Amino acid sequence: MNDNQVKSLLTEFKARMSIYHSSEDAELKNMLQASYDAVNRMTGVSDITNNQFKELVIERTRYVYNDQAEFFEDNFLSTIIGLNLQAYGEGGDDNG
Protein backbone atom coordinates (compact mmCIF):
# COMPACT_ATOMS: atom_id res chain seq x y z
CA MET A 1 0.00 0.00 0.00
CA ASN A 2 1.45 3.37 -0.94
CA ASP A 3 1.57 6.47 1.27
CA ASN A 4 -1.47 8.10 -0.36
CA GLN A 5 -3.55 4.96 0.16
CA VAL A 6 -2.46 4.75 3.81
CA LYS A 7 -3.34 8.43 4.37
CA SER A 8 -6.74 7.94 2.76
CA LEU A 9 -7.47 4.88 4.90
CA LEU A 10 -6.23 6.71 7.99
CA THR A 11 -8.68 9.54 7.34
CA GLU A 12 -11.54 7.09 6.84
CA PHE A 13 -10.61 5.06 9.93
CA LYS A 14 -10.33 8.14 12.15
CA ALA A 15 -13.71 9.41 10.96
CA ARG A 16 -15.34 6.05 11.69
CA MET A 17 -13.77 5.86 15.13
CA SER A 18 -14.38 9.56 15.96
CA ILE A 19 -10.66 10.18 16.49
CA TYR A 20 -9.99 13.88 16.09
CA HIS A 21 -6.36 14.16 17.21
CA SER A 22 -3.18 13.20 15.39
CA SER A 23 -1.10 11.93 18.31
CA GLU A 24 -1.79 8.29 17.35
CA ASP A 25 -1.39 8.67 13.58
CA ALA A 26 1.93 6.82 13.31
CA GLU A 27 0.60 3.85 15.29
CA LEU A 28 -2.69 3.86 13.39
CA LYS A 29 -0.79 3.79 10.09
CA ASN A 30 1.15 0.76 11.35
CA MET A 31 -2.11 -0.93 12.35
CA LEU A 32 -3.65 -0.19 8.96
CA GLN A 33 -0.62 -1.58 7.12
CA ALA A 34 -0.56 -4.70 9.31
CA SER A 35 -4.30 -5.17 8.72
CA TYR A 36 -3.82 -4.72 4.98
CA ASP A 37 -1.12 -7.42 5.03
CA ALA A 38 -3.23 -9.76 7.18
CA VAL A 39 -6.40 -9.40 5.09
CA ASN A 40 -4.33 -9.83 1.92
CA ARG A 41 -2.95 -13.07 3.37
CA MET A 42 -6.44 -14.28 4.31
CA THR A 43 -8.17 -13.40 1.05
CA GLY A 44 -5.52 -13.25 -1.66
CA VAL A 45 -6.82 -9.78 -2.54
CA SER A 46 -4.56 -6.73 -2.52
CA ASP A 47 -6.73 -4.15 -4.30
CA ILE A 48 -7.54 -1.45 -1.75
CA THR A 49 -10.11 0.00 -4.18
CA ASN A 50 -12.19 -3.18 -3.69
CA ASN A 51 -14.84 -2.03 -1.20
CA GLN A 52 -15.12 -5.39 0.59
CA PHE A 53 -11.35 -5.63 0.96
CA LYS A 54 -11.10 -2.05 2.24
CA GLU A 55 -13.93 -2.68 4.70
CA LEU A 56 -12.15 -5.77 6.06
CA VAL A 57 -8.90 -3.80 6.46
CA ILE A 58 -10.70 -1.05 8.36
CA GLU A 59 -12.66 -3.51 10.51
CA ARG A 60 -9.54 -5.51 11.38
CA THR A 61 -7.80 -2.26 12.33
CA ARG A 62 -10.76 -1.40 14.56
CA TYR A 63 -10.43 -4.77 16.29
CA VAL A 64 -6.67 -4.28 16.75
CA TYR A 65 -7.20 -0.74 18.07
CA ASN A 66 -9.63 -2.12 20.66
CA ASP A 67 -7.32 -5.05 21.59
CA GLN A 68 -9.80 -7.57 20.17
CA ALA A 69 -7.84 -8.84 17.14
CA GLU A 70 -8.33 -12.48 18.14
CA PHE A 71 -12.06 -12.19 17.38
CA PHE A 72 -11.78 -10.64 13.92
CA GLU A 73 -11.42 -13.78 11.79
CA ASP A 74 -14.30 -15.61 13.47
CA ASN A 75 -16.62 -12.60 13.23
CA PHE A 76 -15.84 -11.87 9.58
CA LEU A 77 -15.24 -15.42 8.34
CA SER A 78 -18.06 -15.44 5.79
CA THR A 79 -16.87 -12.17 4.24
CA ILE A 80 -13.26 -13.37 4.21
CA ILE A 81 -14.22 -16.65 2.52
CA GLY A 82 -16.50 -14.89 0.05
CA LEU A 83 -13.79 -12.45 -0.96
CA ASN A 84 -11.27 -15.28 -1.20
CA LEU A 85 -13.57 -17.28 -3.48
CA GLN A 86 -14.29 -14.21 -5.57
CA ALA A 87 -10.57 -13.46 -5.95
CA TYR A 88 -9.64 -16.98 -6.98
CA GLY A 89 -12.80 -17.49 -9.02
CA GLU A 90 -11.87 -14.57 -11.27
CA GLY A 91 -8.73 -16.41 -12.33
CA GLY A 92 -10.70 -19.33 -13.72
CA ASP A 93 -10.30 -23.01 -13.04
CA ASP A 94 -7.37 -24.56 -14.86
CA ASN A 95 -8.22 -28.04 -13.59
CA GLY A 96 -11.13 -28.62 -15.91
Confidence (pLDDT) at 96: 38
pLDDT of residue 87: 86
Boundaries of every domain in the chain: 3-17+26-87
Q: What angle do CA 67, 73, 76 make, to 5 degrees?
A: 110
Residue 60's pLDDT band, with cuts at 50, 70 and 90, is very high
Average pLDDT for the chain: 93
Q: Is 57 helix (H, G, I), strand (E, B) or coil?
A: helix
Is the pLDDT at 95 greater than 50? The verdict is no
Q: What is the mean pLDDT of residues 43-62?
A: 97
- Grouping H, G, I as helix, E, B as strand and the rest as coil, residue 77 is helix
Asked if residue 66 lies in contact with residue 58, where contact means CB atoms within 8 angstroms, the answer is: no
Instruction: Quick: pLDDT tens for 74-88.
Output: 999 999 999 999 988
What are the distances in angstroms from CA 42 to CA 24, 25, 30, 73? 26, 25, 18, 9
